[in-house]
Structure 1
Amino acid sequence: MASLGTSALLDGLREQVARIEGQGEGHNRPVIPFGIPALDGGLPRGGMARGALHEVAGAGANVEHASAATLLVAGILARGGGPVLWASERFDLFAPGLAGAGLQGSRVVHVEAGSSVLLAMEEGLRHPGLAGVVGEYSGRLGLTASRRLQLAAESSGAMAFLVRRGPRLNDLLLSEPTAAVTRWKVACLPSPPPLAHSPGTPGLGRALWQLDLMRCRGGVPGSWTVEACDAQGRLALPAVLADRPAAATPGRVHRRAAPGRAAA
């Protein structure tokens, strides 16, 4: 009997590990593709998985980077459809900004949760009527809390996003191990001229972002330069990169050279 009990315990542990690693029931969840082959080619099944936890952060504490991270999440959820619960520590969510990325205010329930953002997220993820749950969080995450969110997302099928905030956000905060399926960093880049063929024309073109996929379970990390979300939540390749093989071939990325180094 003891042997049977041990075997059952091991089977249960294996099932839990499989769920956390994305190899259990949640492995076949549908995805939301970006529509850019080079970007989707680095992701398992060609897109952002539903029923999973995703981690997104700005490249620094500056407002423009934090806003880019928020708009990236809004654009993905805009294309996914359904109601969204958005929990933040303060009541500072700018609804017109989300609408500019395709996520209309009529779809969003905003909760000012203070220090209980993770709890609000977990409760929302266990609600069967939500398509997405977002939490803006400035504290440490850790494996235990992130595993609870991942398992709750798998259970309901909702897409979960944890938007990392912090006064001194850096790579050390994002190097902590978590159960998130993907981990993204978003940085704003200088906008190009409005007309690529006429650099002297006054004005600014569509905003540019650098997307860094820092971790992806079952995928390929990489870095891409993209145009920011439009009013339908869609990204695009800049015109100067759209015809380059590195940007058009799945699984390949356009990498930036580190300061002081020559590009490989």
Structure 2
Amino acid sequence: MHRAAPSALPDLRRSLAEATLRMRPAATGRVRLGAAEIDAALSGGIDRAALHEVYAAGAGDLAAATGFALGLALRAAEEKAEDAVARPILWIRQDFVDAETGRLHAPGLNELGLDPARLLLVRARDAEGVLRAGAEGARCPALGAVLIEPWGEPRVFDLTASRRLALAAEGSGVTTLLLRVAATEAPSAARTRWQARALASRALEANAPGQPAFALRLLRHRGGVRGDVTEREWRVEWDRDRHRFAERSLFDRSSRTDHAAPLSRPLVPVSGDGQAAADGQDSGFRRTG
């Protein structure tokens, strides 16, 4: 892993510059979620070259917000026919997020469809480090997506800072996602703002674990929405094999299992520091620098 300290940022810049030489410029246009109703409401999906925000509905929905943001990142980073390899995803996390929720767990991310080899993980000591590393990533056209995860409501993440990230994303064509943990809505330059809540998954055959399920609410869309969309709420599942979201059926929308309360601290994609230290196994992440 690469710590985004002032002395280490040049290493991050070199890594991103090398990636830029190996890749074509990022595509423009829109990123389709795969769920027909949502894509239609958004005129084809979310803007690729833009900043987007994802909030957890509550403390117990952090894993859901993380999973939804990662799904958007994977959709944005889908391999293009002219690229030799899939584009990497840069994930910048504040250390305090690890301390409060546990570190990212490579097998859990793989279960969501992300090959850990495609992940460039940066850990920053404070919100300022997260912002600086995020701005570097948002300017790199070789990346498939940038996921920025600070903790709480730091002062450095103000409207001006979000405008810088938005301009960087527009200039590079890289989808930039701001995952807000332990934070409330605030003015920003994000093109869309989402709220994610955990839903109970539907078991597969032989009672196998079902697909990750989310209740999504579109809190803000700068371009407006198409059609008669008043609620701006959808219930979706994440297809781990096809890397796409799909709406739940009308029957499932009225099912009581959809409203089951999430488990306390539902940290499926992460692993606690104590276990990681005890087994001594490699997390499987790529290192930058």
> C-alpha distance in 2, partners of 1:218/1:125?
21
Deviations 1:4-51 (A, max 9, x none): xxxxxxxxxxxxxxxxxxxxxxxx9311101222111221x3112111
Tell whether the 8 Å contact from 1:100 to 1:231 is kept in structure 2 after alignment.
no
Taking structure 1 as reference, are residues 207 and 128 closer, same or farther at Cα in structure 2, changes over 3 Å only?
closer
**RCO higher in structure (CA 8 A, sep ≥6):** 2
Task: Give yes or no for the alignment of 1:217 onto 2:222.
Answer: yes
Number of equivalences: 203
Which of 145, 160, 163 does residue 147 from structure 1 map onto? 163
- Residue matched to 1:138: 151
> C-alpha distance in 2, partners of 1:121/1:204?
34
- Residues 1-264 of structure 1 correspond to what in structure 2 (within 5 A)? 29-43=28-42, 45-62=43-60, 65-79=61-75, 80-81=77-78, 82-90=87-95, 92-115=103-126, 116-140=129-153, 141-166=157-182, 169=183, 173-174=184-185, 176-192=186-202, 194=204, 205-220=210-225, 222-241=232-251
> C-alpha distance in 2, partners of 1:180/1:110?
23
Q: Provide the alpha-carbon RMSD of the alignment.
A: 2.5
Deviations 1:73-121 (A, max 9, x none): 2222223331111100125222222222222111110000121111110
Tell whether the 8 Å contact from 2:71 to 2:238 is kept in structure 1 after alignment.
no
* Structure 1 consecutive aligned stretches of length 4 or more whose deviation exceeds 6 Å: none
Instruction: Quote the offset at 1:204 in angstroms.
Output: 5.8
User: What stretches of structure 1 of length at least 5 have no aligned partner?
Assistant: 1-27, 196-200, 245-255, 257-264
Taking structure 1 as reference, are residues 66 and 103 closer, same or farther at Cα in structure 2, changes over 3 Å only?
same
What is the TM-score with the length of structure 2 in the denominator?
0.64
User: What stretches of structure 2 of length at least 5 have no aligned partner?
Assistant: 1-26, 79-86, 226-230, 254-258, 260-289
Taking structure 1 as reference, are residues 118 and 229 closer, same or farther at Cα in structure 2, changes over 3 Å only?
farther
Taking structure 1 as reference, are residues 203 and 105 closer, same or farther at Cα in structure 2, changes over 3 Å only?
closer
Instruction: Quote the offset at 1:241 in angstroms.
Output: 4.9
**Residue aligned with 1:34, SS:** coil
Percent identity among equivalent residues? 39
> C-alpha distance in 1, partners of 2:209/2:136?
42
The amino acid that maps onto 2:62 is A
Instruction: Quote the offset at 1:165 in angstroms.
Output: 0.7
> C-alpha distance in 1, partners of 2:194/2:163?
18
**Residue aligned with 1:46, SS:** coil
**Residue aligned with 1:228, SS:** strand
What is the TM-score with the length of structure 1 in the denominator?
0.69
Q: Which moved more, 1:203-212 or 1:98-107?
A: 203-212
